[in-house]
Each structure stands twice: as structure tokens, then as C-alpha cells.
Structure 1
Amino acid sequence: MHGTVAGGRIRLLYVTPPSEHFAGIERVVHEIAATLATDFGREFDVHVLHCKSYQELAATEIPYQLHVTPAGKLRDLLGVLRAFLRRHSFDIIVCPQVEPSMICWLAARLSGSRVLLVPHLHGNPRIEERQSLRSRALFMAFRWLVSRSVPEVFAVSPSLAAFAQRHLAPKRPVRFVPNPARVYDGIDTTARPVDAPVFLCIARLCEQKGQDVLLKAFARVREKVPSASLLLVGSGPDERKLRALAGELQLGDSVTFAGYQPDLERYFPLARIFVLPSRWDGFALVMLDALNFGLPLVVTNCDFGARDLVTDQRLGRVVRVDDADDLAAAMLASLADDRSDEIVRFRRQTAASYAPRKVTAKHARALREIVLASSSVRIPVQDRGGP
């Protein structure tokens, strides 16, 4: 170990795989790293490695050490990370997803580093493994090599952790370590009129997120509630196909395609119900955003995440995947859901359990336990921000 010996702080590196956009994983890593550096800076020396410069970080005060080493594709990450690890020493690396973790593991060994690696699973490994022959090969290598040598694997939902324990890392502990929700100030939770309800879906427009099923379900809802409207926020490869489907269903101006929007907080107050009809997921943080604004959820019983969150009908309803009739029935039933201050407060309290400081305290505890189990060196401990 390097950092634990020199100065007593754990030298921690978060690696993000190549991505054109500062999106889900990049935002989550920034939030966790920033809060770790702020709340646990006496214990952790926090570094983040990105494969490109992101405009979103340019005007942001960053309390951790940021490194940018250009890599356009995942295959480029191996050489970039190997060279980086020859220049810098760390105690522990956290890397999202299976394939990038395989690359990190190999780069560490080629560099001669004895750094600990913790894969952090965000998405849906069942789907990711099927994407290509390369994916299948990397997943096989992960099972046979990486999963047997890492101290632990993190997962962003309990159901994903259970899947990983069975199918990816049966010989190592797999720990549920959640991602942090966004924090919004001055939230308006005033109930919206039920006579002209707005259904809101914020997600990438793609097969995974199931907006085609949502449009079909919404057509059925409109038969019962002609004043209802649907607001789709997001962009993606299926936008043209979805617009065509809305036309075929004769939904007209009752459906709005708002496109990609960086400021999501202005859309939640417009809605009565939040709908996320995913075919698969990891753990969609946008569900927590909706709860933060007091909205009931209608989500699918997909792998993974949604059913871990919506365990109480006060939070919303869980429906079958790819079932427009079931989705429509839940959307209609949700219009009668209680919007009392007590229920809204319960939804907001549920979202608050994923607040950045609470979640980061869990990350700090997990990382601390891993390093302490791997080293006899005593490190100073800070304990802030909850359990």
C-alpha cells in the first residue's frame, strides 16, 4: 500500500471509461468524489481520472484532484491507464462496470502496481454481456480473473448486487453501495390539477427505456382522460421512430417531445405522475428526482433497481415489462393517489435517504473497511454524514 504508509491518507482513484458526454456515471463519480474530499479529506486523498475534458466541470470548484488523459474508446484506456499508474501510486481504484474494470485490472498488472481494484456495477450486466463477442470475452475474463482477485464488488441496487453475487463474483463479497440523488433547492410540491394531468417521462429515447410502450399505454389513458398529456424529456436514437408512433396513435399535441434538457428541475413541477417504463436498468436516479418533487412513480418490474425502490404503494406502482395495458391501468389508478402533505413528505424522505452526504458516508465506510482489511497500517477515521 502506498498512501496509507505515506501520510496516513488513503490514496483513492475513480476511473471513468471513455464517454462523449458528462452523463450518469460521470456525474455520480463527481458527486461522490467531491463529497468524499470535502467530508472525509483527512482520511482520503481523492483523485478522478476522465478520458476527456468536460465543459460541465470547467466552471465547477473541484475539491479533489482531477486528471484528464485522452482516450477515445474503451480499448484505448488500457495503454492510457497503464502509463498513468506507472507515474502515480494509489491504494485503491474504483471503476464502474464490468468491461472497464477488466481493463483497469489488466492495466494495473501491466504497470506493476499492487493497487486494490473495486468494480462498481451501475448498469445491467445481463444485457451488457450480450452486446458483442468482445463483451462476452471480457465478461468471461472478469469472472475467471478479476472477480477472484478483487476484495469486493459494489452494486448500485440490492437486486443488482444479488445478481452479481450469483453470476459474476460468487467467490467475493458483493456490497450494495447506492449512488447519490441530485439535490434541488426551493422545490414546489403543490398538487397539479387532476382534470388535466401531465404524465412525465425523463429518459434517453431508446429501446431500453420503453417509451414505445408508454405511448401505447398513454393512448389508452387518453380514451378515459382526454385532457391528459404526456411530456417526454430526453433525446436518443429512437426519437424519429417514437414521433412516428405518436402520429400513428393519433396523439397529436397531447405528446410533447422536449429533447435533451440539462435543467430537469423545471419539468417535475409540471407533472402529476412520473412514468419510467424501462425494459432494463441499473438504478435510474431520476426516480429519486421525481420523489423529491412529491410525484408518485409508475415503473416496471425490470432488472434492476425500480422494484428495490418502490416497495410501498405510497411511492408508486410497479407494472410488468412491455405490457401497455398494465402500464395504462397503473397510470389511471395513480391519478387517484393521495397528494396530501404527509404522503409528499414520505416520498421526499425516501429520496433524502439517497442524499449525497449520506450515500458518500456509506462509500467511505466500505472503502475504509476494504483498505483496513488489506493493510495493518492504522489510518485516521472521520465519520460524518450519517450511517
Structure 2
Amino acid sequence: MDKIKILHIIKSLGRGGAEVLLPETLKLHNQSQFEFHYIYFLPWKNQMVEAIEKTGGKVTCLKASNNLSLLGKSSDVINYCRKYKIDLIHCHLPWSGFLGRIVAKRTNIPVIYTEHNIQEHYHIATKTLNKFSFNFQALALGVSEDATQSIINNIKPKIPVRTVLNGVNTDFFIKNHNERVKIRHKHNIPDDACVIGNIAVFREQKAIPVWLKAFKKINKKHPEVYGLLVGAGPKEDEVKALVKEYNLSDKIILPGLQTDTLAYFSAIDIFMMSSAFEGLPIALLEAMSMECAVVSTKAGGVVEVVENEISGLLCEVGNYGCLAAKASELIEDPEKRKDYQIAARKRVVNNFSLKRMVDELEDIYNSFVKK
């Protein structure tokens, strides 16, 4: 029997939540039934390429310098689909979605689209194009109930919309004591120090300045605590300037973009997230799987994952004082911190496994293509 050929289209293969999911889901997909292809457009954002290729995916970069030039690649994508006899296209994030819909209109290849954010926070141009083109595809998937409801409320599509919750590979994301010690020694963090961390792309959505304001308050009360802020992005210079302005250079470590996040999660005791909005953040699921106690804002799909005062502690968006107070509770009570660490992992193991997500996706793929 011929394999079903799936083409994923995504703007970049840097280290964002949507991008990280591609190699992770590929590890669990049935590659005797499916063949997976990947097209991306920003050659300088390629951190996930090696992981995808190592796992059996076929990756192609069609270089584009901006969103409009990305849309201009439709003929190249169509030629690729014809050459490799692609059966189904799966697009991620808006501009790849727009491109996929153009391809669908010209080839009749079914396109499904995964929405990783909520419509309210997109630029007006993105919202307009979404409303105009959304019904050109066969199916839309939201990564959280919040993302799905945002599509329904704002776009009112005629096509089906359903939720496929993001998942995490809980067999892989397990705290590793040796890696914990190695990272702490590398960055001169005492073995017994409490570490508050975050792993994120430094962009507006993640509200890292709010994170830093919270840590500043924590540091005033608990100067023995360290911060581990892993990532890079457009707000990187602002983040570095604020660390210096707040006199936290000796307490907050900025190791930059890292591909081995398992090691860094292992070094973190409390995962503090300050996002202004989210779909369903992969880093949060990974942190919980790694037994990090969670203190987070109630951003989008976060509230679908973290049960307040059961599997983590939640604050209103922007409330850095609350983030600092909740983190301080866990710093001051190691037993409570341990309880939340155990509860966090239990929550994702029972409800957000990657295997469940992959099974749902394969059922969807099979429903569109019969071979």
C-alpha cells in the first residue's frame, strides 16, 4: 500500500512552540503508513531542521525575505506537491495558512490548518486575510479550546473547526539529575539554590519585562534565588538592558537560544511564565512534564492546562506582584514546591500526552486520504 504523503508548511523552523512540535510528533507518527515533508521559508531560522531530518522527515527551504514574498512561493509549492505526489497539506500559523489556501484553490489538494494563537492578538492585516481566505481550506484545528472558540467567534467559518490539544512527550521530558548538576555548575549556580526559569522566544507575546519585574521583587525578598531565562528573539536587547537596569546581572543567567532544553528544564525548580496571550504553550507542557512547579499568568490556553492551586499557581495577565508572591510561597515552602512539581507532571501525563495528539492527527489525515 502506498504511503499517505503529508506536507507541513510553516514560516520558519526556529525554536518556537509550533516548530518544536514538528520533530516531536514525527518521532511518534506511523512512518510505515505516512511520509512527511516540510517546507519552510526563513533560512536563518532552521534550528528544527536537523531534528526533523534525523527522524525521517524531508525538509525543503524556499527562501523568502518577508510575508509577501512567502505568498509568492505558491507556484514552487505547487510544483513540489506535483513532484512528490502530496496527498494532504497541513499548514501552521497565518502566513503559511494563507499560502496553503492559495495552493488548495489551484490544486484541489485538501488543506488543514492549525491555529496556535487567538485571533484577537493578530495584526489587522492578518485578521482581514484570515476572514477572507479561511473557508478555502478543508478543516481548521485549534491547539486549545480557547484558540478554537476565538476562530468561531471572530471568523465565523463555514468549514469545520475542532480542537486537537497540544501534547508533550512525557517519556522524553523527564528530569535528569546529572544534567541538572551540569547546567548549574556551568553557570555557577549552587546545587541547593532555588532556580526560577523560563524558556521562551523573547517577543512581545511572552511579556519578559513582566517576568523581570516579578523576579526583581523576588530577589529583594530572596537574594539567594537565581533566574534562568533561556531564549532569544526580537526583544533580546530590551531584556538584557532591563537585567542590567535592575542590577540583576549576577542573579539572572541568559544562556541564549538552546536546543537541549531538557538539560535546562532539569536545572529549573519553578517555571514562571508571564505571557500576555497564548494558544497552548509547548514550553509549559514540557516544564510540567519535567516536574517544574508552575507559576503563570492566565494567558489563553494556560488555564486549560494548569488547575489553579492544584497543578500550579495562576495570576492575572500583567500582575507581576502576584507572580512574585506566588513564586515566593514556593521558595519558602520546599514541601509545597515538591507537591506542585509532582502534580504538574501528573497533570500532563494524564491529559496532555503527545501520543494522544498524534493519534488524533493520524485519524484526521486518514479521514481525508484513503489509500
| Fold-level similarity (TM above 0.5) | yes
1:160, CA displacement in angstroms?
A: 0.8
1:186–1:201 CA distance, 2 compared to 1 (3 A): closer
**1:328 maps to 2:317:** no
Query: Residues of 1 paired with 2:264 and 2:128: CA distance?
Result: 42
Q: Distance in 2 between matches of 1:81 and 1:351?
A: 36
C-alpha distance in structure 2 between counterparts of 1:37 and 1:326, whole Å: 44
In 2: Cα distance, 1:106 partner to 1:277 partner:
36
Give deviations 1:334-378, integer Å, cap 9, x for gaps: 333645877544422333343433321121123333x27xxxx6x
1:68 matched to which residue of 2? 60
Report what 1:3 is aligned to: none
What is the CA–CA distance in structure 2 between the aligned matches of 1:159 and 1:329, rounded to whole Å? 27
Cα distance in 2, alignment partners of residues 212 and 250 from structure 1:
14
- Which of 110, 121, 130 is residue 127 of structure 1 equivalent to? 121
- Pairwise CA distance, 1:199: 0.9
2:366 to 368, 375, 379: 368
Deviation at 1:283, TM superposition (A): 2.0
Q: Does residue 177 of structure 2 align to residue 188 of structure 1?
A: yes
Gaps of 5+ in 2: 185-189
Deviation at 1:167, TM superposition (A): 1.5
Q: Distance in 2 between matches of 1:338 and 1:77?
A: 55
TM-score (norm 1): 0.79
Q: Distance in 1 between matches of 2:22 and 2:14?
A: 13
Q: Over residues 162-181 of structure 1, what are the superposed CA-to-partner deviations in whole Å (9 max), with x where a residue is unaligned?
A: 11122234433321113342
Instruction: Give the aligned partner of residue 384 of structure 1.
Output: none
Give, in whole Å, the separation in 2 of the partners of 1:87 and 1:185: 41
Once the two structures are superposed, what CA deviation does each residue of 1:275-298 show, in whole Å capped at 9, x if it has no partner? 110112222211122112211111
CA-CA distance at 1:121 after TM superposition: 0.8
Give the distance between the partners of 1:345 and 1:258, measured in 2 at CA: 27
CA contact (8 A) 2:20 2:48 kept: no
Pair 1:359-2:357 in alignment: yes
Partner of 1:11: 5
Q: Which structure has the larger Rg?
A: 1
The answer to whether the 8 Å contact 1:153/1:169 transfers is no
Superposition map of 1:165-244 within 5 A: 165-182=152-169, 183-184=172-173, 187-188=176-177, 196-244=193-241
Shift of 1:186: 6.3
Structure 1 gap segments, 5+ residues each: 1-6, 380-387
Relative distance call for 1:300 and 1:106 in structure 2 (3 A) is same
Rounded to whole Å, the distance in 1 between the matches of 2:192 and 2:36 is 51
* Structure 1 residues 32 and 81: CA distance shift in structure 2, 3 A: same
Aligned pairs for 1:47-86 within 5 A: 47-51=37-41, 54=46, 57-58=49-50, 60-64=53-57, 66-72=58-64, 73=66, 74-86=70-82
Read off the aligned partner of 2:38 and give its amino acid letter: V
Aligned match of 2:109 in 109, 112, 115?
115
Per the alignment, do residues 222 and 50 of structure 1 end up closer, same or farther by CA in structure 2, a change over 3 Å counting?
Answer: closer
Q: State how far apart, in whole Å, the 1-side matches of 2:152 and 2:108 are.
A: 24
Q: Deviations over 1:37-77 (max 9, x none)?
A: 33xx33x344333447757544743434x152523142233
Alignment check: 8 A CA contact 2:293 2:340 kept? no
RMSD of aligned Cα (Å): 3.1
Instruction: Tell me how far 1:312 sits from its aligned partner.
Output: 4.5
Change (3 A) 1:265 1:117: same
In the alignment, which residue of structure 2 is the partner of 1:385? Answer: none
Change (3 A) 1:37 1:200: same
One-letter amino acid of the structure 2 residue matched with residue 95 of structure 1: C
More helix by share: 2
Q: TM-score, normalised by structure 2?
A: 0.82
Which of 21, 25, 44 is residue 32 of structure 1 equivalent to?
25
One-letter identity of the residue aligned with 2:29? L
Aligned: 1:100 with 2:92:
no
